[in-house]
Amino acid sequence: MEDRQKKIHRLAVSSFFFLAGLCFSSWASRIPDIQTKLHLTNAALGAVLLGLPTGLMISLPFAGLLVAKFGSKHILMGAAVLYSFTLPLLGLVAYTWQLVICLFIFGFGGNMLNISVNTQAVSTEAIYGRSIMASYHGVWSLAGFTGAAIGTLMIGLKLLPYQHFLIIMFLAAMIMISASRHLLVTDINKNEQQPIFAIPDRSLISLGFIALCSMICEGAMFDWSGVYFQKVIQPPKELVAAGYTAFMATMATGRFVGDWFATRVGVKKILQISGALTAVGLFTAIIFPYFFTAIIGFLFVGAGVSSVIPFVYSAAGKSKILSPGVALAAVSTIGYLGFLFGPPFIGFIAQVSSLRVSLGLIAILGIGITVISTRTKFD
């Protein structure tokens, strides 16, 4: 395939990663407004928000099977429509039960989008013949920053959530219209002799546990980094989010340079280093609970977790046992358990002990990434 055509395919797939990140961050930016609108307490909001991961988890067994049967392009288009068109409904809900249903649909569509777009990414990576997966996830992170910035602007303009979400839906529709015809019609790594369903082999299970460790660390940073700065570091109020910002900055940057490093030193070495960086970063922030040392620690954590999931997905998509979509769904199932249950676990340990102790336990999972990666075979 000529270079120009490869670049067009890559840009099209990147566009859908951007769409996914933009939709999710747009929703996240208006959660406080919707909480106020529905008069939800923090506890009630926490319960309602479980609708999204519930939809996500229920979709996991279906996503891989549908991608394997119908191809990632068709599932990606349907999921993108479902995901983006659910956004305005989230802004229009008038009752709590409506929000729960819409979040379930949003989570279901979001994971279908995740599995199918990553299957497309695995296919374009095969065409390129080198690592490009991390840059795709970097685009998702960039979209997250963009969505948060647009959300801030919309709040400043006093637009209601549904008005804001209609604008995002329109942007998503433009992306779908312009990029859909350049998606790959056939999933490159698909082998007709591979079964649609089979028990994951040891290698895939290992990849799943690497994803589990990484997603627990990510979830900890997303949900607890601000709390850690507020309760333990105690900087001026305007600097409470500095740790989270540092983490996000190196996570996004790491994804854009991760492919370059992987091409030179190999995926196994990158994952080993990633686990070590995550552990060192968390231990630094815990052992030296001061502003600048905590910032440095969180910078390390962001760099550490940045490329783990992209490279795990890339390796899973090359499975010789399962088709790419099913392999990705299998690894995601294990990984998302960490993303969902990790943050509550941190809260429980922090309640009976301290937040520093709970984050210390999470740091050990960084070491786990290094150990499991060392024992895992990568093609």
Could you tell me if 306 and 258 are in contact, meaning their C-beta atoms sit under 8 angstroms apart?
Answer: yes
Q: Can you say how many angstroms the Cα of residue 45 is from the centroid of all Cα atoms in its chain?
A: 22
Could you tell me if 27 and 90 are in contact, meaning their C-beta atoms sit under 8 angstroms apart?
Answer: yes
Could you tell me if 365 and 216 are in contact, meaning their C-beta atoms sit under 8 angstroms apart?
Answer: yes
Torsion sign over Cα 36, 38, 41, 46: negative
**DSSP character at residue 237:** G
Please give the CATH architecture assigned to the domain spanning 3-182.
Answer: Up-down Bundle (1.20)
Instruction: Extract the tokens encoding 34.
Output: 């919707």
CA distance 286 to 90: 38
**DSSP character at residue 30:** T
pLDDT value for 379: 62
pLDDT value for 118: 92
Please give the CATH architecture assigned to the domain spanning 202-374.
Answer: Up-down Bundle (1.20)
The domain limits of the chain are: 3-182, 202-374
Torsion of CA 336, 340, 345, 350, to 10 degrees: 120
Q: What is the 3-state secondary structure (H, E, C) of 99-142?
A: HHHHHHHHHHHHHHHHHHHHHHHHHHHHHHCCCCHHHHHHHHHH
Residue 6, exposed/middle/buried by CB under 10 A (0-12, 13-18, 19+)? Answer: middle
Q: Tell me the mean pLDDT per 10 residues along the chain, length 379.
A: 84 96 90 88 79 86 86 94 96 95 95 93 89 92 88 90 96 95 81 57 89 88 80 84 86 91 90 96 94 95 93 87 83 81 76 85 93 85
Residue 41, exposed/middle/buried by CB under 10 A (0-12, 13-18, 19+)? Answer: exposed
Torsion sign over Cα 16, 115, 186, 206: positive
Q: At how many degrees (to 10) do helices 242-265 and 308-316 cross?
A: 40
CA distance 345 to 339: 11
Q: Do domains 3-182 and 202-374 have the same CATH topology?
A: yes
Based on its alpha-carbon atoms, the radius of gyration of the chain, rounded to whole angstroms, reads: 20
pLDDT value for 248: 86
